[in-house]
Amino acid sequence: MLSDDKCDAATRSARIIDDPRVRHFHDPEKRSGKAIAASLGSEDAIAWDTYLFYASGSEWTDGPPAPIDWMHQLPGSWADPARFHTGDDLPEELGKAMRRLTSAEP
């Protein structure tokens, strides 16, 4: 989303999370951000700085499924302002969502 978002920068950033369950990729056409925004109900937007929670067993087929919960750091954007969290509020709200979602009965 920034002018210096290049393949080299993406490669360096990918080293931050070294986990076999994580997939890193560089997307200069912003295809994933457009697909995620569409799954959130905004066809003409691009999602970034978003935190998405999916139901167990969710699969991305032709596009991403709608998440069961989500948050963002996009003030004054297309994204739902009630889901905006930043600063100390962000980890607190992410923790609440994770506890709520992992404690739910199947």
Q: Which amino acid makes up residue 81?
A: P
Is pLDDT above 90 for 82?
Answer: yes
User: What is the separation, in whole angstroms, between the first and last Cα of the chain?
Assistant: 37
Q: pLDDT digit string (tens) for 39-54?
A: 999 999 999 999 999 9
Nearest one of 20, 38, 19 to 30, comparing CA atoms: 38
Question: Phi/psi of residue 53, each to 5°?
Answer: -115, 125
Domain ranges of the chain: 7-103
Averaged confidence pLDDT in the chain: 91
Nearest C-alpha neighbor of 70 from the set 54, 89, 48, 88: 54
Q: What is the pLDDT of residue 106?
A: 52
